[in-house]
Amino acid sequence: MDHFEKDLVDALKDIVKAGNWQCVGDKSKFKSPCTKLYSDDGEHIVLVHTEDDTFWAMDSSCPHEGGPLEQGDIEDLGNGKLALICPWHYFDFSLETGSSSTGLQNQVYDVRVLDDKVFINTQCMLSLCPIPVTSIITHQDSLPVEINENMLCTWATKILQTPDPQEKVSLTKMVQEKWNSWEITEIGESSPPSQPSRRDNLTVLEPGKIKRGKGGTLASRIALLHSLANIEQWAIDLSWDIIARFSTFTLSTGEPLPRQFFDDFVKVAGDEAKHYQLLEQRIMELGSFFGALPVHNGLWQSATDTSHDLLARLAIVHMVHEARGLDVYPQTLSRFAAHGDSSSVKVLEVIYTDEITHVAAGLRWFTYICSKEGCDSLKTFHDLVKLHFKGFLKPPFNIEGRKTAGMTEEWYVPLVKPSNLQKTS
Protein backbone atom coordinates (compact mmCIF):
# COMPACT_ATOMS: atom_id res chain seq x y z
CA MET A 1 0.00 0.00 0.00
CA ASP A 2 2.84 2.43 0.85
CA HIS A 3 4.44 1.70 -2.52
CA PHE A 4 1.11 2.33 -4.26
CA GLU A 5 0.70 5.71 -2.51
CA LYS A 6 4.24 6.76 -3.44
CA ASP A 7 3.60 5.88 -7.09
CA LEU A 8 0.38 7.90 -7.00
CA VAL A 9 2.11 10.93 -5.47
CA ASP A 10 4.91 10.71 -8.05
CA ALA A 11 2.37 10.49 -10.85
CA LEU A 12 0.51 13.52 -9.54
CA LYS A 13 3.79 15.47 -9.34
CA ASP A 14 4.49 14.61 -12.97
CA ILE A 15 1.03 15.86 -13.98
CA VAL A 16 1.57 19.13 -12.14
CA LYS A 17 5.00 19.56 -13.70
CA ALA A 18 3.70 18.79 -17.21
CA GLY A 19 0.93 21.33 -16.77
CA ASN A 20 3.40 24.04 -15.68
CA TRP A 21 1.48 24.66 -12.46
CA GLN A 22 3.61 26.44 -9.88
CA CYS A 23 2.83 26.90 -6.21
CA VAL A 24 3.58 30.52 -5.32
CA GLY A 25 2.75 30.21 -1.62
CA ASP A 26 0.07 29.85 0.99
CA LYS A 27 -3.17 31.68 0.34
CA SER A 28 -2.70 33.56 3.62
CA LYS A 29 0.29 35.40 2.11
CA PHE A 30 -1.85 37.15 -0.48
CA LYS A 31 -4.25 39.31 1.52
CA SER A 32 -3.41 42.47 -0.47
CA PRO A 33 -5.45 43.10 -3.64
CA CYS A 34 -2.32 42.98 -5.82
CA THR A 35 0.98 41.16 -5.35
CA LYS A 36 3.86 41.28 -7.81
CA LEU A 37 5.55 37.96 -8.60
CA TYR A 38 8.98 38.14 -10.21
CA SER A 39 9.64 35.89 -13.21
CA ASP A 40 12.97 34.51 -14.36
CA ASP A 41 12.27 35.65 -17.95
CA GLY A 42 11.59 39.27 -16.93
CA GLU A 43 7.88 39.01 -17.71
CA HIS A 44 6.69 39.53 -14.14
CA ILE A 45 3.14 38.68 -13.03
CA VAL A 46 0.62 40.43 -10.81
CA LEU A 47 -1.53 38.14 -8.65
CA VAL A 48 -4.91 39.76 -7.93
CA HIS A 49 -7.06 38.76 -4.93
CA THR A 50 -10.58 40.20 -5.21
CA GLU A 51 -13.11 40.78 -2.44
CA ASP A 52 -15.07 37.64 -3.38
CA ASP A 53 -11.94 35.60 -2.52
CA THR A 54 -11.11 34.84 -6.15
CA PHE A 55 -7.56 34.91 -7.53
CA TRP A 56 -6.52 36.15 -10.98
CA ALA A 57 -3.13 36.63 -12.65
CA MET A 58 -1.80 38.64 -15.59
CA ASP A 59 1.45 40.21 -16.76
CA SER A 60 2.34 43.06 -14.40
CA SER A 61 3.68 45.35 -17.14
CA CYS A 62 1.03 47.38 -18.98
CA PRO A 63 1.16 46.65 -22.73
CA HIS A 64 1.04 50.41 -23.43
CA GLU A 65 4.24 51.81 -21.90
CA GLY A 66 5.10 49.31 -19.18
CA GLY A 67 3.13 50.88 -16.33
CA PRO A 68 3.19 48.83 -13.09
CA LEU A 69 -0.20 47.12 -12.96
CA GLU A 70 0.52 45.78 -9.48
CA GLN A 71 0.11 49.40 -8.31
CA GLY A 72 -3.23 49.82 -10.06
CA ASP A 73 -6.81 49.80 -8.80
CA ILE A 74 -9.39 47.07 -9.26
CA GLU A 75 -12.57 48.52 -10.72
CA ASP A 76 -16.00 47.27 -11.72
CA LEU A 77 -16.57 48.69 -15.19
CA GLY A 78 -20.34 48.49 -14.76
CA ASN A 79 -21.04 45.15 -16.40
CA GLY A 80 -20.20 42.99 -13.39
CA LYS A 81 -16.76 42.33 -14.81
CA LEU A 82 -13.70 43.46 -12.88
CA ALA A 83 -10.70 45.14 -14.45
CA LEU A 84 -7.23 46.12 -13.28
CA ILE A 85 -6.49 49.78 -14.07
CA CYS A 86 -3.00 50.90 -15.11
CA PRO A 87 -1.91 53.73 -12.78
CA TRP A 88 0.00 55.57 -15.51
CA HIS A 89 -2.55 56.12 -18.27
CA TYR A 90 -5.70 54.54 -16.82
CA PHE A 91 -6.07 51.70 -19.35
CA ASP A 92 -8.35 48.93 -18.09
CA PHE A 93 -7.58 45.20 -18.38
CA SER A 94 -10.20 42.54 -17.74
CA LEU A 95 -9.13 40.18 -14.97
CA GLU A 96 -10.83 37.36 -16.82
CA THR A 97 -9.55 37.83 -20.38
CA GLY A 98 -6.82 40.52 -20.24
CA SER A 99 -8.65 42.53 -22.89
CA SER A 100 -8.97 46.32 -22.67
CA SER A 101 -11.56 48.78 -23.90
CA THR A 102 -8.62 50.57 -25.57
CA GLY A 103 -8.01 47.58 -27.85
CA LEU A 104 -4.88 46.43 -26.04
CA GLN A 105 -4.50 42.86 -24.81
CA ASN A 106 -2.61 41.63 -21.75
CA GLN A 107 -1.51 38.07 -21.04
CA VAL A 108 -3.56 36.30 -18.36
CA TYR A 109 -2.78 33.06 -16.51
CA ASP A 110 -4.93 30.35 -14.95
CA VAL A 111 -4.92 30.36 -11.14
CA ARG A 112 -6.03 27.54 -8.83
CA VAL A 113 -6.27 27.32 -5.04
CA LEU A 114 -5.71 23.83 -3.61
CA ASP A 115 -5.33 23.00 0.09
CA ASP A 116 -5.00 26.77 0.79
CA LYS A 117 -2.04 27.04 -1.60
CA VAL A 118 -2.09 29.24 -4.72
CA PHE A 119 -0.97 27.74 -8.05
CA ILE A 120 -0.35 29.65 -11.31
CA ASN A 121 -0.05 27.97 -14.70
CA THR A 122 3.11 29.38 -16.33
CA GLN A 123 6.31 27.97 -17.78
CA CYS A 124 8.46 30.53 -15.97
CA MET A 125 9.84 30.29 -12.46
CA LEU A 126 8.16 32.77 -10.09
CA SER A 127 9.39 34.36 -6.89
CA LEU A 128 8.09 36.84 -4.35
CA CYS A 129 11.58 38.35 -4.15
CA PRO A 130 12.95 40.78 -6.77
CA ILE A 131 15.72 39.61 -9.06
CA PRO A 132 18.88 41.62 -8.23
CA VAL A 133 19.76 44.24 -10.82
CA THR A 134 22.91 46.22 -11.47
CA SER A 135 22.83 49.69 -9.95
CA ILE A 136 22.41 52.51 -12.43
CA ILE A 137 25.10 55.18 -12.42
CA THR A 138 23.80 58.53 -13.61
CA HIS A 139 25.44 61.85 -14.35
CA GLN A 140 25.24 64.45 -11.62
CA ASP A 141 23.01 67.42 -12.36
CA SER A 142 25.00 70.22 -13.87
CA LEU A 143 24.99 73.83 -12.72
CA PRO A 144 22.96 76.36 -14.69
CA VAL A 145 24.49 76.46 -18.15
CA GLU A 146 26.06 79.55 -19.68
CA ILE A 147 24.44 80.00 -23.07
CA ASN A 148 26.60 80.19 -26.16
CA GLU A 149 23.94 81.45 -28.56
CA ASN A 150 25.72 79.89 -31.55
CA MET A 151 25.87 76.41 -29.99
CA LEU A 152 22.94 73.99 -30.17
CA CYS A 153 23.96 71.89 -27.17
CA THR A 154 24.04 74.74 -24.68
CA TRP A 155 20.50 75.63 -25.74
CA ALA A 156 19.49 71.97 -25.36
CA THR A 157 20.82 71.87 -21.81
CA LYS A 158 19.17 75.21 -21.03
CA ILE A 159 15.80 73.82 -22.14
CA LEU A 160 16.32 70.65 -20.07
CA GLN A 161 16.95 72.85 -17.02
CA THR A 162 13.84 74.97 -17.67
CA PRO A 163 11.07 73.85 -15.27
CA ASP A 164 8.11 75.78 -16.67
CA PRO A 165 6.54 73.86 -19.59
CA GLN A 166 5.32 76.98 -21.40
CA GLU A 167 8.81 78.49 -21.28
CA LYS A 168 10.22 75.13 -22.40
CA VAL A 169 7.89 75.22 -25.40
CA SER A 170 8.79 78.83 -26.25
CA LEU A 171 12.52 78.17 -26.05
CA THR A 172 12.16 75.04 -28.15
CA LYS A 173 10.35 76.91 -30.91
CA MET A 174 12.89 79.74 -30.85
CA VAL A 175 15.88 77.37 -31.04
CA GLN A 176 14.23 75.36 -33.80
CA GLU A 177 13.75 78.52 -35.86
CA LYS A 178 17.34 79.69 -35.25
CA TRP A 179 18.73 76.24 -36.12
CA ASN A 180 16.70 75.95 -39.32
CA SER A 181 17.69 79.46 -40.43
CA TRP A 182 21.39 78.77 -39.67
CA GLU A 183 21.54 81.44 -36.97
CA ILE A 184 22.87 78.58 -34.83
CA THR A 185 25.69 76.95 -36.77
CA GLU A 186 27.61 74.88 -34.21
CA ILE A 187 26.50 71.68 -32.50
CA GLY A 188 28.96 72.11 -29.65
CA GLU A 189 29.19 70.16 -26.41
CA SER A 190 27.40 70.41 -23.06
CA SER A 191 26.62 68.30 -19.98
CA PRO A 192 22.87 67.68 -19.68
CA PRO A 193 21.28 67.13 -16.25
CA SER A 194 20.52 63.59 -15.10
CA GLN A 195 16.83 64.55 -15.04
CA PRO A 196 15.00 67.58 -16.46
CA SER A 197 13.69 70.27 -14.14
CA ARG A 198 10.02 70.55 -13.22
CA ARG A 199 7.96 73.28 -11.54
CA ASP A 200 7.97 73.20 -7.73
CA ASN A 201 4.18 73.39 -7.60
CA LEU A 202 3.74 70.35 -9.81
CA THR A 203 2.54 67.38 -7.76
CA VAL A 204 4.75 64.42 -8.67
CA LEU A 205 3.63 61.07 -7.29
CA GLU A 206 4.71 57.49 -7.64
CA PRO A 207 2.89 56.06 -10.69
CA GLY A 208 0.71 53.81 -8.55
CA LYS A 209 -0.56 56.72 -6.45
CA ILE A 210 -2.25 58.50 -9.35
CA LYS A 211 -5.99 57.83 -9.40
CA ARG A 212 -8.43 57.93 -12.29
CA GLY A 213 -12.04 58.96 -12.76
CA LYS A 214 -14.83 56.75 -14.08
CA GLY A 215 -14.64 56.00 -17.77
CA GLY A 216 -16.61 58.18 -20.15
CA THR A 217 -16.90 61.28 -17.96
CA LEU A 218 -15.53 64.74 -18.69
CA ALA A 219 -13.19 64.37 -15.71
CA SER A 220 -11.87 61.11 -17.14
CA ARG A 221 -11.17 62.72 -20.53
CA ILE A 222 -9.42 65.64 -18.84
CA ALA A 223 -7.32 63.16 -16.85
CA LEU A 224 -6.30 61.34 -20.02
CA LEU A 225 -5.41 64.57 -21.84
CA HIS A 226 -3.46 65.68 -18.76
CA SER A 227 -1.56 62.39 -18.81
CA LEU A 228 -0.77 62.82 -22.51
CA ALA A 229 0.45 66.38 -21.88
CA ASN A 230 2.79 65.02 -19.22
CA ILE A 231 4.11 62.51 -21.77
CA GLU A 232 4.69 65.27 -24.32
CA GLN A 233 6.59 67.40 -21.80
CA TRP A 234 8.93 64.45 -21.19
CA ALA A 235 9.13 63.90 -24.96
CA ILE A 236 10.40 67.46 -25.46
CA ASP A 237 13.14 66.74 -22.94
CA LEU A 238 14.00 63.36 -24.47
CA SER A 239 14.58 65.09 -27.81
CA TRP A 240 16.91 67.71 -26.35
CA ASP A 241 18.65 65.13 -24.19
CA ILE A 242 19.60 62.93 -27.15
CA ILE A 243 21.05 66.05 -28.84
CA ALA A 244 23.08 67.20 -25.83
CA ARG A 245 24.09 63.80 -24.48
CA PHE A 246 25.29 62.34 -27.76
CA SER A 247 26.61 65.45 -29.52
CA THR A 248 30.19 64.13 -29.35
CA PHE A 249 29.28 60.61 -30.47
CA THR A 250 31.65 59.26 -33.09
CA LEU A 251 31.60 56.11 -35.17
CA SER A 252 34.46 53.62 -34.97
CA THR A 253 35.88 55.35 -38.05
CA GLY A 254 36.08 58.62 -36.11
CA GLU A 255 33.21 60.19 -38.06
CA PRO A 256 30.82 62.40 -36.06
CA LEU A 257 27.08 62.32 -36.49
CA PRO A 258 26.02 64.37 -39.54
CA ARG A 259 24.08 67.60 -39.16
CA GLN A 260 20.99 65.82 -40.51
CA PHE A 261 20.83 63.80 -37.26
CA PHE A 262 20.46 67.02 -35.29
CA ASP A 263 18.02 68.40 -37.91
CA ASP A 264 15.75 65.45 -37.24
CA PHE A 265 15.78 65.66 -33.46
CA VAL A 266 15.37 69.44 -33.41
CA LYS A 267 12.26 68.82 -35.52
CA VAL A 268 11.10 66.10 -33.11
CA ALA A 269 11.57 68.51 -30.20
CA GLY A 270 9.54 71.15 -32.06
CA ASP A 271 6.76 68.65 -32.78
CA GLU A 272 6.59 67.57 -29.14
CA ALA A 273 6.42 71.23 -28.06
CA LYS A 274 3.53 71.73 -30.48
CA HIS A 275 1.80 68.64 -29.08
CA TYR A 276 2.14 69.84 -25.50
CA GLN A 277 0.75 73.25 -26.45
CA LEU A 278 -2.25 71.71 -28.26
CA LEU A 279 -3.03 69.44 -25.31
CA GLU A 280 -2.64 72.21 -22.75
CA GLN A 281 -4.99 74.44 -24.74
CA ARG A 282 -7.54 71.63 -25.00
CA ILE A 283 -7.36 70.96 -21.25
CA MET A 284 -8.02 74.66 -20.61
CA GLU A 285 -10.98 74.62 -23.02
CA LEU A 286 -12.43 71.79 -20.93
CA GLY A 287 -12.15 73.90 -17.77
CA SER A 288 -8.89 72.69 -16.26
CA PHE A 289 -5.15 73.36 -16.60
CA PHE A 290 -1.89 71.42 -16.72
CA GLY A 291 -0.74 70.81 -13.17
CA ALA A 292 -4.28 70.54 -11.80
CA LEU A 293 -3.73 66.78 -11.51
CA PRO A 294 -0.73 64.84 -10.24
CA VAL A 295 1.85 63.49 -12.68
CA HIS A 296 4.60 60.88 -12.52
CA ASN A 297 8.17 60.83 -13.81
CA GLY A 298 8.36 57.11 -14.61
CA LEU A 299 8.82 57.88 -18.30
CA TRP A 300 12.35 59.16 -17.72
CA GLN A 301 13.60 55.74 -16.62
CA SER A 302 14.31 54.66 -20.21
CA ALA A 303 16.45 57.76 -20.70
CA THR A 304 18.44 56.91 -17.59
CA ASP A 305 18.85 53.28 -18.63
CA THR A 306 20.18 54.25 -22.07
CA SER A 307 22.21 57.35 -21.18
CA HIS A 308 25.45 55.55 -22.07
CA ASP A 309 24.48 54.11 -25.47
CA LEU A 310 23.05 55.99 -28.48
CA LEU A 311 21.87 52.84 -30.26
CA ALA A 312 20.07 51.72 -27.09
CA ARG A 313 18.44 55.15 -26.76
CA LEU A 314 17.19 55.04 -30.35
CA ALA A 315 15.97 51.48 -29.93
CA ILE A 316 14.11 51.82 -26.64
CA VAL A 317 12.76 55.38 -26.71
CA HIS A 318 12.02 55.83 -30.41
CA MET A 319 11.56 52.29 -31.77
CA VAL A 320 9.82 50.72 -28.78
CA HIS A 321 8.05 53.41 -26.72
CA GLU A 322 7.16 55.80 -29.55
CA ALA A 323 6.13 52.87 -31.73
CA ARG A 324 3.90 51.75 -28.87
CA GLY A 325 2.31 55.18 -29.04
CA LEU A 326 1.31 54.40 -32.63
CA ASP A 327 -0.34 51.19 -31.42
CA VAL A 328 -2.58 52.86 -28.83
CA TYR A 329 -3.48 56.15 -30.53
CA PRO A 330 -6.21 54.70 -32.78
CA GLN A 331 -8.01 53.29 -29.73
CA THR A 332 -7.49 56.52 -27.82
CA LEU A 333 -8.98 58.46 -30.74
CA SER A 334 -11.99 56.14 -30.68
CA ARG A 335 -12.56 56.75 -26.97
CA PHE A 336 -12.84 60.52 -27.49
CA ALA A 337 -14.86 60.14 -30.71
CA ALA A 338 -17.35 57.88 -28.91
CA HIS A 339 -18.17 60.77 -26.57
CA GLY A 340 -18.47 63.35 -29.35
CA ASP A 341 -15.25 65.16 -28.36
CA SER A 342 -14.25 66.13 -31.90
CA SER A 343 -11.89 68.90 -30.76
CA SER A 344 -9.76 66.43 -28.78
CA VAL A 345 -9.88 64.00 -31.71
CA LYS A 346 -8.39 66.67 -34.00
CA VAL A 347 -5.55 67.26 -31.52
CA LEU A 348 -4.81 63.54 -31.27
CA GLU A 349 -4.84 63.16 -35.06
CA VAL A 350 -2.11 65.79 -35.34
CA ILE A 351 -0.04 64.05 -32.68
CA TYR A 352 -0.48 60.62 -34.31
CA THR A 353 0.66 61.85 -37.73
CA ASP A 354 3.77 63.46 -36.26
CA GLU A 355 4.63 60.43 -34.10
CA ILE A 356 4.92 58.28 -37.23
CA THR A 357 7.75 60.55 -38.39
CA HIS A 358 9.42 60.29 -34.97
CA VAL A 359 9.50 56.49 -35.14
CA ALA A 360 10.85 56.82 -38.68
CA ALA A 361 13.63 59.12 -37.43
CA GLY A 362 14.66 56.67 -34.74
CA LEU A 363 14.67 53.82 -37.24
CA ARG A 364 16.58 55.86 -39.84
CA TRP A 365 19.45 56.75 -37.50
CA PHE A 366 19.55 53.33 -35.87
CA THR A 367 20.03 51.66 -39.25
CA TYR A 368 22.46 54.40 -40.34
CA ILE A 369 24.77 53.76 -37.40
CA CYS A 370 24.50 49.98 -37.75
CA SER A 371 25.36 50.14 -41.47
CA LYS A 372 28.35 52.38 -40.77
CA GLU A 373 29.56 49.98 -38.07
CA GLY A 374 28.97 46.91 -40.24
CA CYS A 375 26.53 45.25 -37.82
CA ASP A 376 23.19 43.62 -38.50
CA SER A 377 20.44 46.13 -37.68
CA LEU A 378 17.73 43.63 -36.82
CA LYS A 379 19.91 41.48 -34.59
CA THR A 380 21.34 44.54 -32.85
CA PHE A 381 17.85 45.92 -32.23
CA HIS A 382 16.56 42.63 -30.86
CA ASP A 383 19.59 42.26 -28.59
CA LEU A 384 19.25 45.80 -27.22
CA VAL A 385 15.53 45.46 -26.55
CA LYS A 386 16.09 42.20 -24.68
CA LEU A 387 18.81 43.92 -22.64
CA HIS A 388 17.07 47.20 -21.80
CA PHE A 389 13.32 46.54 -22.06
CA LYS A 390 11.51 44.61 -19.35
CA GLY A 391 9.62 41.65 -20.72
CA PHE A 392 8.22 41.08 -24.19
CA LEU A 393 6.57 43.40 -26.70
CA LYS A 394 2.82 42.90 -26.62
CA PRO A 395 0.18 42.92 -29.33
CA PRO A 396 -2.02 44.20 -30.78
CA PHE A 397 0.21 46.27 -33.04
CA ASN A 398 -0.80 49.09 -35.36
CA ILE A 399 0.74 47.30 -38.32
CA GLU A 400 -0.21 50.01 -40.82
CA GLY A 401 1.15 52.88 -38.69
CA ARG A 402 4.38 51.03 -37.98
CA LYS A 403 4.78 50.13 -41.65
CA THR A 404 4.31 53.78 -42.64
CA ALA A 405 7.20 54.60 -40.28
CA GLY A 406 9.31 51.90 -41.96
CA MET A 407 9.05 49.42 -39.07
CA THR A 408 7.91 46.22 -40.71
CA GLU A 409 6.99 43.09 -38.75
CA GLU A 410 10.47 41.54 -38.72
CA TRP A 411 11.51 44.31 -36.32
CA TYR A 412 9.02 43.53 -33.57
CA VAL A 413 7.36 40.12 -34.06
CA PRO A 414 10.49 38.21 -32.87
CA LEU A 415 10.21 40.12 -29.57
CA VAL A 416 6.66 38.94 -28.86
CA LYS A 417 6.03 36.21 -26.31
CA PRO A 418 5.42 32.99 -28.29
CA SER A 419 1.98 32.48 -26.75
CA ASN A 420 0.96 35.94 -28.04
CA LEU A 421 2.11 35.55 -31.63
CA GLN A 422 -1.41 34.80 -32.88
CA LYS A 423 -2.49 38.28 -31.68
CA THR A 424 0.00 40.28 -33.76
CA SER A 425 -2.31 40.64 -36.72
Question: Chain-centre distance of CA 115, in angstroms?
Answer: 39
Residues 204 and 327 in one domain: yes
CB 275 within 8 A of CB 354: yes
Total domains in the chain come to 2
Give the containing element (helix H, strand E) for 156. helix 152-160
Does 326 map to a domain? yes
Does 139 map to a domain? no
Single residue among 127, 160, 193 that ends a domain in this structure: 127
How far apart are the C-alpha atoms of 199 and 158, rounded to whole Å?
Answer: 15
Residues 215 and 323 in one domain: yes
Give the containing element (helix H, strand E) for 58. strand 55-59
Residue 95: which of 50, 66, 52, 56 has the closest Cα?
56
How far apart are the C-alpha atoms of 213 and 308, rounded to whole Å?
Answer: 39
Residues of the chain with pLDDT under 70: 1-19, 40-42, 130-147, 206-216, 419-425
Residue 64: which of 47, 45, 85 has the closest Cα?
85
Does 143 map to a domain? no
Its sign, for the CA torsion 124, 130, 132, 136, is: positive
CB 122 within 8 A of CB 45: yes
Does 243 map to a domain? yes
CA angle centred on 266, ends 261 and 271, rounded to 5°: 125
Position 161 scores a pLDDT of 95
Does 9 map to a domain? no
Bridge partners of 58, per DSSP, are 46, 108
Does 10 map to a domain? no
Single residue among 92, 127, 162 that ends a domain in this structure: 127
Residues 268 and 322 in one domain: yes
Single residue among 127, 142, 165 that ends a domain in this structure: 127
Does 193 map to a domain? yes
Using one digit for the tens of pLDDT, what is the confidence trace for 206-216? 655 555 444 46
Does 206 map to a domain? yes
Residues 107 and 164 in one domain: no
Residues 158 and 249 in one domain: yes
Q: Using CA atoms in the order 194, 71, 331, 420, what is the torsion angle rounded to 10 degrees?
A: 100
Position 140 scores a pLDDT of 40
How far apart are the C-alpha atoms of 275 and 234, rounded to whole Å?
Answer: 11
- pTM for this one? 0.71
DSSP 183-218: S--B-------SS----TTS-B--GGG-----TTSH
What type of residue is 370? C
Residues 395 and 293 in one domain: yes
Long-range contacts formed by 109-115: CB under 8 A, 24+ apart: 109/45, 109/57, 109/58, 110/57, 111/47, 111/55, 111/56, 111/57, 112/21, 113/27, 113/55
DSSP 6-55: HHHHHHHHHHHHHTTEEEEEEGGG--SSEEEEEETTS--EEEEE-TTS-E
Residues 118 and 164 in one domain: no
Residues 119 and 185 in one domain: no
CB 349 within 8 A of CB 333: yes
Residues 371 and 238 in one domain: yes
Residue 110 structural domain: 20-127
Residues 285 and 324 in one domain: yes
Q: Identify the CATH number of the domain in which residue 50 sits.
A: 2.102.10.10
Residues 163 and 113 in one domain: no
CA gyration radius, the chain: 23
Position 391 scores a pLDDT of 80
Give the containing element (helix H, strand E) for 349. helix 342-373
Question: Chain-centre distance of CA 102, in angstroms?
Answer: 16
How far apart are the C-alpha atoms of 84 and 161, rounded to whole Å?
Answer: 36
CB 125 within 8 A of CB 115: no
Residues 113 and 214 in one domain: no
Position 139 scores a pLDDT of 38
